[in-house]
Homo-oligomer: A and B are copies of this chain.
């Protein structure tokens, strides 16, 4: 079982890395880009867990280890081996 967790700064938090990427893209002529925000992905391979266990444990791991809940938000989804989605996504802000 594979879970993908996306961690990014909350919208209210400045993102200097994203700004730098935006400026680089503008320098290269991609002026239609209005904003860039950068974040992290974690792809976890898990032993098979029940959906209830996943719903409990993934937000716990994200909050405790992967994200800093003061300035970052996370969302997660279960993806199968072939990289297609199972349509589950939770947004935590």
Interface residues of A (CB under 8 A from B): 6, 8, 18, 21, 24-25, 28, 30, 32-47, 49, 57, 61, 64-66, 75, 83, 91
Chain B neighbourhood of A28, CB < 8 A: 64-65
Chain B neighbourhood of A6, CB < 8 A: 41
Given contacts A8-B43, A28-B64, A39-B42, 14 further A-B contacts (CB under 8 A): A6-B41, A18-B42, A21-B42, A21-B65, A25-B61, A30-B57, A30-B61, A32-B47, A33-B45, A34-B45, A36-B43, A39-B41, A39-B43, A75-B83
Chain B neighbourhood of A39, CB < 8 A: 40-43
Q: Report A1 CB to chain B, min CB distance, Å.
A: 9
Chain B neighbourhood of A21, CB < 8 A: 42, 65-66
Q: A25-B61, A28-B64 are in contact. Are A41 and B42 (CB under 8 A)?
A: no
